[in-house]
Amino acid sequence: MMRQYELVEKVTGYKKDADEAILNKAYVYAMQKHGSQMRANGDPYFSHPLEVAAILTDLRLDEETIAAALLHDTIEDTDATRKEIDAIFGEKIGFLVEGLTKLKRLDLVSKKAEQAENLRRLLLAISDDVRVLLVKLADRLHNMRTLGHMPPDKRKRIAAETMEIYAPLAGRIGMHGMREELEELAFRHVNPEAYDMVTTKLAGLGEINRDLVSTITAELAHKLEKEGIKATVRSRQKRAFSVFRKMENKQLSLEQLSDLYGFRIIVDTVEDCYRTLGVVHTTWQMVPARFKDFISTPKQNDYRSIHTTVIGPSRQRIELQIRTWQMHEVAEYGIAAHTLYKDGKAGGDAGGTAFASLRRTIAQLAEGVNPEEFLEHTKLELFLDQVFCFTPKGRIIALPRGATPIDFAYAVHTDVGNTCVGCKINGRIMPVITELKNGDEVEIIRSKAQTPPAAWESVVVTGKARASIRRATRDAIRKQYAGLGSRILERAFARAGKTFDAEMLAGALPRLARETVDDALADVGRGELASVDVIRAVFPDYKDERVNHRAPTREEGWFGLKAGAGMLFRIPGSRRSRKPANGDGKAIPIRGASGDLPVRFSPNGGAVPGDRIVGILTPGEGITIYPIQSPELTQFDDMPERWLDVRWDIEEGSSERFPARIKVVAINEPGTLAAIAEVMANNDANIQNLAMQRTAPDFMDMVFDIEVWDLNHLNRILRQLTAKPVVSRAERIVGRDEAA
Ligand code: MN
C-alpha cells in the first residue's frame, strides 16, 4: 500500500505547486471513514481508493482529482456527507465526489433499456467535469484488476459492462493504455475460452519469434543512430483481445494475421519523425496501402503518429508507429495528458481538441439529438439493435431497430396505439410508417373514432403492436359482422311477421349455443348461424312454411361480401396471392398489388426480398414498388390514397434475382477494380451496369447495378467490399443518387 508521504511526493513530483494539505487531509479522512471496512479479498477497504488515486498519479492528474479519488466511496459507503466534504475540502472536490457517488449506483443496473438512460446520465455527469470520468475509469480499472475475488456471476456482469461501456469510453477520450488494459481484463471473464486460446497461441508464437523481434529492434536502433536520430525503439506483441477482435472482424485464424507485432519508434521532434520514416522506407520495402500520416492529419481524438507497414527481413509484414514523446503521451493518456501540457510547458498545441470533441458528443447525447454518432465511434454494440426515442415529456421509449411511430404508440400504451391516427417526429408531421431514428421525439396524434388499420400489422416490428392491432382488428371486424347479423335478422324476422330486437336473443342463447348476444349476431353476419334457427330459438313454436333454409356457405357469403378476416379493412387489393406481370413479362412476386395493373420496381435502386416495401399507385402506369427507406417516397406523403400495402410473395431458396444499386468509393489505384470485381464474382452478383467517376485525385466513385437474390445476399456483398483495403466506402443506394 502506498504511504501518505509517497502519494504526496509523487504528486508534487510532477506538479510543483500542488496543494499538499488537501492531499494529506483526504488521505487521513478517507482512511478514518472507511475504518475497519474490508474488501472482498480481505484487504482493508481503504486500499481501494488509495490504489485508484495511485492510478491517477500515473496519469499525472491534479491534486483535486487525486483527493476526489481518495474520497470517492466515502459518501456511498460511510457516514460522510457532501456537506461535510464541502466544508473540509471545498465545493469542487465535493462536487466530484458526489458525481462519483451517483455513477456508482448506475453500476447496479444492467437491464438493456435502463442502461441507455444510465449512459445518458453518466455522460451528463461527465459533461459537468470530465475529471469525474477519469476517476470513474480508474475506479473501474482497479475493480477489474481485483475482480477475481468476486462471485462468478457478478464477475461476468461487471466484465461485460466494462467491455461495452467503460473501455470504449476510455478509447473515446484517447486513453488507449487504459482502454487496452480494461479490455484485456474484461476479455478473460467475458469469453474465457477465447482468452485461453489466444493467450496460449500468442505465447507460443512469442517463443518462435523472439529472435526476429530483437533483430529488427537492433537493426532499427543501429540505422537511426547512424543517421544521428535520437530514438527509442520499442516492440510489443499485440494484446490478446485486440488480436481476437481482429480475428473476428477479418474472419482469419491467428496464424493468418500478419501484424501480431508492432514496433514503436519514439523521437524528440516532428522533423525526426519524417527522417525516421525515410530511414525505415529505405531499409525495407513499404506496403503502400498501409501508410497513414496522422501527424499531418490527426485523428478526431487528437491521436497523432505515422503508421507504416514494411516487408521485414524474413518477408513478414511489420507494423511501425513513429511519433514524438508528446504524441506518445497523448496517445497513451488522452485527455489526462492535456492536464500535463495545458500550462504550456510542452507546447500544448492540440490540447483542447480531444476534450472539445468529447464535450460535443456529450452535449449531443444529453440533448438526445444524435446518440448514433457516439455509438458508432465507441462501438457500444449493445445498443446497435435498438433505437431510443422520446415522448414529448422526455420519457425514453426503447424500440427495436426498424420500429415505426405505430410501434412507439403501442409501447407507450395500448390505448394510444389503438387511437393513433398520425404523428409528429421532432415537431414535424410525418407518415406513421416512418422508420424511427435514435433521439427522435415522437408525438402521437390520436382520435377516439380510430381503429387501427389491419394493414399496419405488416408495418410494425414489435410483438406488442402486432398483437394489439390483430386484437383490435378482430374486434372491429366482429363488430361489423354483428351489425350485418342485426340487419339480416331484422329482415328475416319481418318476413316471419315478427319484430326483431337484439334483447330477445338474450333468453335464447343456451338454445343457440352462443355465449353472448354479440357472438350470435356476429355468427349470423358471418353466415355461420342461419337466421331461421335464430327465429326458432326465440319463438320455439314458430313453424316455417318454406324449405331449404340452409346457411350460405363461406364461398357464397352474404350480400356480396367474401368472408375472411381482415377483408373489410384491406386497402384496396384482395388477399389472393398473385404474380402481376411487369413490362417485360417477368412476374414480380408481390402480394397485395390490386387488380390487373402492371407492377414494376422503382428504377432508382429497387427493392429486394427482405426489404420492407410499399406500392405506389401511378395513374395510367400501374404500381411501383419502393423499399420503405427510399427517399423518393416523401413525394407521396400527402397522397395516402396512393399507398398500397404490399408484401413479398416469394418462396425461400427461389432462384429469382432482383435489381439493386450500390455505390463504392475506392482508392484510385491499379488493381482496385479487379479487387471489387473479384468480390462480385465470388458472390455471383450479376453486374448489369457500371458507372465510374473520379471525385478526388485519389478516389473514384463507382455505381454498380447488380442483381441479387435478397437482402442477405446484398448485405454480404457490401460487407465484403467494405473489408477490401482499397474500398473506403460501399453502400446501397435506394432512390436517386445524390451525386448523380
Ligand atoms: Mn470504488
- In tens, the pLDDT along 443-501 reads 999 988 888 888 888 889 887 788 888 888 788 778 877 877 787 788 778 878 888 88
Q: What is the pLDDT of residue 253?
A: 75
Mapping DSSP to helix (H, G, I), strand (E, B) and coil, where does residue 308 land?
strand
Q: Residue 259 and residue 229: Cα distance in Å, rounded?
A: 26
77 is catalytic: yes
Q: Where are the domains of the chain?
A: 4-191, 196-337, 472-538, 558-733
Q: Cα(2) to centroid of ligand 1, in Å?
A: 17
Q: Residue 14 and residue 58: Cα distance in Å, rounded?
A: 10
**Catalytic residue, candidates 20, 43, 76, 656:** 76
Class of domain 558-733: alpha beta
Task: Answer yes or no: are the C-beta atoms of 467 and 502 closer than 8 Å.
Answer: no
Q: What is the pLDDT of residue 284?
A: 87
Q: How do residues 340-362 score in pLDDT, each as one tens digit? A: 434 333 333 333 444 454 555 55
**Catalytic residue, candidates 19, 20, 77, 435:** 77
Class of domain 4-191: mainly alpha
Out of 50-59, 430-439, 586-595, 596-605, give the one with best mean pLDDT.
50-59
Q: Name which residue leads in pLDDT, 394 or 50.
A: 50
Would you place residue 337 in the very low, low, confident or very high pLDDT band (cuts 50, 70, 90)? low
> For the residues 393-409, what does the mean pLDDT come to?
82
Out of 24-28, 383-387, 498-502, 605-609, give the one with best mean pLDDT.
24-28
Mapping DSSP to helix (H, G, I), strand (E, B) and coil, where does residue 659 land?
strand
Q: Cα(73) to centroid of ligand 1, in Å?
A: 5
Share above pLDDT 70 across residues of the chain, in percent, rounded to a whole number: 78
Q: Cα(48) to centroid of ligand 1, in Å?
A: 7
Q: Cα(719) to centroid of ligand 1, in Å?
A: 42
Given a cut of 80, whether residue 201 has pLDDT beyond it is: yes
> For the residues 410-419, what does the mean pLDDT come to?
91
Cα–Cα distances (Å) from 67 to 1, 23, 28, 92, 304, in that order, read 17, 6, 11, 11, 31
- In the sheet where 686-696 sits, what is the strand order? 686-696, 699-708, 658-667, 727-733
Q: Cα(30) to centroid of ligand 1, in Å?
A: 12
Q: How do residues 291-309 score in pLDDT, each as one tens digit? A: 888 888 877 667 889 999 8
Min mean pLDDT across 104-113, 392-401, 680-689 is at 104-113
Among residues 452, 479, 483, 480, which one has the least CA distance to residue 467?
452
Out of 263-272, 346-355, 394-403, give the one with best mean pLDDT.
263-272
The fold of 196-337 is Beta Polymerase; domain 2 (3.30.460)
Given a cut of 50, whether residue 582 has pLDDT beyond it is: no
Q: How do residues 177-186 score in pLDDT, each as one tens digit? A: 888 999 999 9
Q: How do residues 608-630 score in pLDDT, each as one tens digit? A: 888 888 888 776 666 788 888 88
Average pLDDT, the chain: 78
Among residues 69, 97, 63, which one has the least CA distance to residue 81?
97
Q: Name which residue leads in pLDDT, 724 or 571.
A: 724
Residues within 5 A (CB) of ion ligand 1: 73, 139
Would you place residue 393 in the very low, low, confident or very high pLDDT band (cuts 50, 70, 90)? confident
Would you place residue 151 in the very low, low, confident or very high pLDDT band (cuts 50, 70, 90)? confident
Min mean pLDDT across 62-76, 199-213, 473-487 is at 473-487
Strands 699-708 and 686-696: antiparallel
Q: What is the pLDDT of residue 50?
A: 95
How far separated are the first and last CA of the chain, in Å rounded? 66
Domains 4-191 and 196-337 equal at CATH topology level: no
Q: Cα(72) to centroid of ligand 1, in Å?
A: 6
Q: What is the pLDDT of residue 379?
A: 33
Q: Name which residue leads in pLDDT, 357 or 733.
A: 733
Given a cut of 60, whether residue 431 has pLDDT beyond it is: yes
pTM, two decimals, is 0.49
Task: Compute, in degrees rounded to 10, the torsion defined by CA atoms 285, 288, 292, 297.
Answer: 120
